[in-house]
Every structure is written in structure tokens, then in C-alpha cells.
Structure 1
Amino acid sequence: MRKLVYRRLEERSRVIAIASGKGGVGKTNIALNLGLILARQGLRTLLFDADLGLANVDILMGLVPRYSLKEVIGGQCTLEEVIIRGPHDLLLVPGASGIQELADLDPPARDRLIHDLAFLATKVDIILVDSGAGISRTVFSFAAAAGEAIVVATPEPTSITDAYGLIKGLQRLKVSMHLIVNRATNKLEGQQAAGRLQGACRRFLQLELPLLGIIPEDSRVGQAVRCQQPFSELFPRCPAARALEEAAAKLQGQELPAGRSQGFWQRLGRLLGR
């Protein structure tokens, strides 16, 4: 019965994990600005900060959250008190510092929290999960629970190699994937980087990796970070913002992965509780 309730609660929301094979590729910046663009385009959007290594979505927005998921788990506040409302009604859950506590909760307490998170999911159309960089159990747990992931890489050889390792692990979990190449000097460099990664996936994994977008190297992105503002808000017509808008439109035109549109929080609780 509890599983049925979870499925009914979550049946409207699409969940996408955003991950990278290594840090420093701009994953969190992509997650935040993609969320804002989707919200601006009319989708009720929730961004869940699950990056254990470096939780900084709030920093990029110039916000100081009063609470995180850790305080919810500890009983100091409610889930509603944790939520930060950003531009275009983007909802942000700063949860990173509470992810390990979520895994360590006893089953009844974890079920209660996951039920609350599932109820929150009924209020949105799409959930983006900033799931951390590298290959770890937590990253794989979020991606497996979502069933859909955006892999962010740069044209650097080390980034391509690390992204391939991540993709290999996600394929074993039957996660549907898309690729964003970030910080490309020009479109050709981005296409070549994507081609190398797609070629390796096709040859060794028998996997077709759809390219969602190529985001150019853009000085306005760095300026926005220094101003603690999202670049898609501060410079909405800059090349990076326009490229990400195209990626967002492309994402909305794609179908949901078969069999993975329901039960994200329930699956996540089970995976983290193993």
C-alpha cells in the first residue's frame, strides 16, 4: 500500500539526475541555469542539491539557506521551511548535508521523510537532481532512482575519459542518458568532443548517447559567478544562456524513459538504505 501511495504521489513528475565524471566541468552551474530556464519556459521546476562533495547551488544564486535536509531529519524544521523559492518560482531544496543522514535513518523515519518529499513532487512538473561529480554510490543511487541522467563533460581529454567511466556505470543501471558538452571553445570543438565520447560508447558499450547541447566557453558565465547570480538571469542573451535554452527545448521534446516515470523518492530510499 505504501508503494502505491508513492507511485500515485509522483506520477506527474519527470526526474533527471545531472552528473559528471569529474569535478570542475560546470555541472552545478548547468543544473541551476537549466532549472531556471525550464521554469521560465513554464514548467514547475524543483532543483534538489544532492552534491555531497560541494553543495553550492545556493552560492551561485547568492542565497544563504537557513536550513537543509539535515535539519529536517533532525526535527529542527519542516520540509516546507527548507525550500527556497528562486526566480520564476524555481524551488530549491538544499539537501546535500543531509543525504548521508537520510541513508542512515531507520526505515520508519526514512519512509516518513520520503513520503513528504514525494508529496512535494506532486507540485512540480520536473525535478532536477544535482547529484555530484565522479563515480560514487550516492551518484549512482540518484541516477538509478531517476532513471534519466544528463552527463556533463568538457572537451578536455580527462573529462571525456571520466565521463565514459560514469556512462559505463549508468548503463549497467539501465539509466537513459543525454550528453551536454560544456565550455567548448567553438561549436566544432564541442562536436568533436561529443563525437569521441559517442564513438566510444557506440563501439564498446553498444550505446547511442544523444547530444543534448554544446555550451560555449563564455566570459559572461564567470562574471555571473563572481556576482553570485545565475548567468541565464544576469545575461539572458549571452551565448551560453542561448545554447542552454536550446538544450532545454530539446529536452522537453523527448519522451520519458519507459517504466521510470514513477516512484523516484521511494526507489531512492531503497537504494540509499541498502
Structure 2
Amino acid sequence: MDQAQQLRNIIKQQNMQQHLARVITVTSGKGGVGKSNMSVNMAIQLGRLGKKVVILDADFGLANVEVMLGTRPRYNMADMIYGRKGIKDIICRGPENIGFISGGSGIKELSNLSKDQISGIVNMMYELDSIADVIIIDTGAGISDAVIDMVLASSEVLLVTTPEPTSITDAYALLKTINKAPGYSNDNIKIKMIGNRTLSMSDGEELYNKLNSVVTKFLHMNMEYLGSVPFDVNLTKAVMKQQPVSVAYPNTPASKSIKAMAEKLANVEPENQRQTLGGLSGLFSKMFRNRNK
């Protein structure tokens, strides 16, 4: 049995599963725009809406998420990939019972796995689907192969950008790379833009309109506007405390903005799309299939 057939068989097993996690991939065109902060605080806010949330830190080489959560995981994905630990063993708990998985060196090693290791990972993710309602993937910034692979395999992508010209340019470059990649389809990937560090609500909408106009004209891609987070000094204070701003300063403008976006996401949960794509196990299956084309 070849590797592709093994993955198809695993997906058939997934279709019999009653519960599949909703996977939300958070990405950005460049570093330093607040992507990890958005991932962590979105997880907190979705958790407060009654969702069981797990963050997968797929930003290899950096530990932004664990710093913001104030936790240091004992194990990461590499321990799972090489059979040393199971999926439940590598999940550590952050504030308000948010789950957290460190990608560690495991994310980099995803491109060099045997078919048995790939099959094992997909089955592990299938197990994670059964215990989480929402899985938030915090990707690396930019247009590395790992980021593009993860985004292309996702059905729901949050693109974080700021009003700075370099951030807008890099966000466009990321979308252009995704658009050119084999397997991309407007029908399969829903991209929602989030404006960060904006001066006002209208500033966020203006940022979206500016980026969306060139994306529509030159790339013919569909992109929605989820909302914006205003510049907030309390967010920086929260980072210094190694706490999510939603925990340290729940009533500050940044926290309220992210709460509103979380509510919007929760109210438009794509149930049919989740069932079709098969949660996180389906995402990893699709990612490995795309690499083998």
C-alpha cells in the first residue's frame, strides 16, 4: 500500500468520527506584527465562549507563545514524531485551561519523515480532534515553505497585518505566493484579515480596503475583514508580565476588540466545512499529500 493510499484510508476513518476540531491558522507576511499575541488572546476569548481550545505553536525556532502564556513545555512535537510521547503527553496547560503544544524542532522535521511516521502523526492529530473544539495554529511569519504548506492545507486563515507600509507589502507578498502555489483554490481557503495596532475602527477598515483592492485586482483572491485591534499600551504591559492581555487587562480596548472578533468567529462556525476537511488530522493529511504531488 503506497503512502497516498494510507492517507486516504485514514481520512475515511475520520469521516466516521462524530467530533472534529475547527482549525484556525494564524499567519502574517512579516514578523513583529502581533501574530502570536493574536493567537494566544483569540484562544483565551474562544475558551471563554465555552470552547475547548488548543494552540499549536508552529513557529519553529521561536518561543513567543510559551512566553506569552508564561509556561515552559517539557515536550514538543519532536517527542511525538519519534514515538517518545503521545499527543496528550505533549499538551501543556496555559491560563484558563488553554491547551498548548510546542512545535519545537518537530515542525522543521515534518519535511523529512518516513511514511510510517506520517501515518503516526495523522493518527495522533485524529486523537487531538476528539478532545478539542478549536485548534489555533500559530505559524511562522513570512513565506517559508513550512508556512505556505500549512496555509495551503488550512480551510480558515487569519492574516494579521498592521498599517505600516512594509507590513502591507509583505502581507501581499504572502498572498501572492499562496495564490501561485499548486492546489490553491478560493473555494477551499477562507482568508480573513485582522488589522493590528490601528488608530481607530475606521483605520482598520481602511487598511483592509487598501489591501483587498490590490488582492482582488491582481490576484483575484477572496478576502474577508474580521476586525481590528487598536494600539494599546496595556498589551505591551501584559507581554512584560508574561500574561495574555485578555487575562491581565480584560477590559482594555485590545481585549474587547479580540473578544468581538472571537464572538464573530464563533457565530459563523463553518460546520459543513469542518466535516468535509476532517479537523487537524485532515489538515496534516492534506499537507503531506500536497508535498507529494
Map of 1:158 onto structure 2:
166
Give the 5 Å matches for 1:23-42: 23-42=31-50
* Alpha-carbon displacement from aligned partner over 1:80-121 (angstroms, at most 9, x marks no partner): 221012233321111132112232121012211220121111
Map of 1:77 onto structure 2:
85
Which sections of structure 2, spanning at least 5 residues, go unmatched? 1-8
TM-score, reference length from structure 1:
0.92
Q: Contact between 2:71 and 2:94, CA under 8 Å: does it hold in 1?
A: no
Taking the aligned partners of 2:242 and 2:290, their CA distance within structure 1 comes to 34
Amino acid at match of 1:62: G
- The reply to whether residue 194 of structure 1 matches residue 213 of structure 2 is no
- 1:165–1:53 Cα change, 3 Å: farther
- The reply to whether residue 48 of structure 1 matches residue 62 of structure 2 is no
Taking the aligned partners of 1:101 and 1:169, their CA distance within structure 2 comes to 22
Taking the aligned partners of 2:18 and 2:55, their CA distance within structure 1 comes to 15
TM-score, reference length from structure 2:
0.87
Q: Contact between 2:70 and 2:94, CA under 8 Å: does it hold in 1?
A: no
| Match 2:236 to one of 222, 231, 237 | 222
Map of 1:269 onto structure 2:
288
* Alpha-carbon displacement from aligned partner over 1:58-99 (angstroms, at most 9, x marks no partner): 111111111111122233333222101223332111113211
How many aligned positions are there? 274
Taking the aligned partners of 1:47 and 1:10, their CA distance within structure 2 comes to 22
* Alpha-carbon displacement from aligned partner over 1:152-197 (angstroms, at most 9, x marks no partner): 0000011011111212233451221000000112223222212210
Q: 1:133 is paired with a residue of what secondary structure?
A: coil
Which sections of structure 1, spanning at least 5 residues, go unmatched? none
Taking the aligned partners of 1:2 and 1:180, their CA distance within structure 2 comes to 34
* Alpha-carbon displacement from aligned partner over 1:26-65 (angstroms, at most 9, x marks no partner): 0000001101110111111111110124232111111111
Q: 2:223 is paired with a residue of what secondary structure?
A: coil
Q: Contact between 1:235 and 1:241, CA under 8 Å: does it hold in 2?
A: yes
The RMSD of aligned alpha carbons is 2.0
